Amino acid sequence: MDVESSYDKFMHKCYLYCLGPVFGSKNFFSGLAVFFDTYSNANGDNAADHPYISAMVNNGTLNYDHNRDGAYSQIQGCSASFRNNGAETYALIQYLGSKETLTVMTDIDSDGEWKACLQVSGIRLPTSYFIGLSAATGNLADNHDIVGLKFYELEVEKDEQTVRSTENTDDIVPFVKTEAVKEPVENSPKGHSTRRMTKAFTWFFWILVVGVIVCVVGFFVYKKQQEAARKRFF
């Protein structure tokens, strides 16, 4: 088969099935996604500071909500100032299937020191998956160049390797334990309610403080006026 025609067929298939609204890739995907989001679409409702890195595990049924920056579907995330950075920035994404653990680390300042972004256990991913990269932008555009990718096979202990070898890992449905998911309090309905109550309590507190101050000042002014009125009669 001609290599060029095979590539064209692959690109045509990818155009039909891979492209979509989630940072250039399709929605309702199956697998693991790590998002590097430079801009907040939540109009201040999102508690996270952008740029923001988040991870999502999808079995093909979850929707990525851009309006909330994927807050309801993310596993965990962290803020990372990789936008408009003069130095090269690095990200390390590690998934250890034997321990069902995902780790994401960053080196934003290019100083050779990895800083923890997130670590989540209880994630199951199948083997024989492909790795893909995509990007998209709205009205605000940045230039982010991917200089290179490096892949490493992680070593596992013999007993763990034996267990994994007897299991058909190709048929695993992407899965993450519920307790591993970090719900964004600020973006949840409960979070909105809690935040409104907090704001209401804060306003009530300051109104009460101002009211007390006005009453105290008014009392002393009234007292001074009364003393001045008494002196006029003597």
Q: What are phi and psi of 128, to 5 degrees?
A: 65, 30
What is the predicted pLDDT for the residue at 56?
96
Phi and psi at 197, nearest 5°, equal -65, -40
The pLDDT assigned to 12 comes to 63
* pLDDT computed for residue 23 by the predictor: 92
CA-to-CA separations, 129 to 28, 29, 65, 170, 200, in angstroms, rounded: 16, 12, 24, 8, 50
Task: Tell me which amino acid residue 189 is.
Answer: P
Question: Within the chain, which residues score under 50 in pLDDT?
Answer: 1, 184-198
What's residue 118's pLDDT?
94
Q: What pLDDT is attached to residue 190?
A: 37
State how beta strands 101-107 and 115-121 pair.
Answer: antiparallel
The 10s digit of each residue's pLDDT in 57-112 is 999 999 999 888 998 899 999 999 998 888 899 999 999 988 899 999 999 988 99
For residue 97, the model assigns a pLDDT of 86
| Alpha-carbon distances of 183 from 47, 71, 146, rounded to whole Å | 11, 8, 30
CA 77 centroid distance within chain: 4
Helices (H), 22-139: none
Neighbours of 96 (CB within 10 A): 15
Q: pTM for the full model?
A: 0.68
Q: Are 55 and 76 in contact (CB under 8 A)?
A: yes
Contact between 39 and 82 under an 8 Å Cβ cutoff? The reply is no
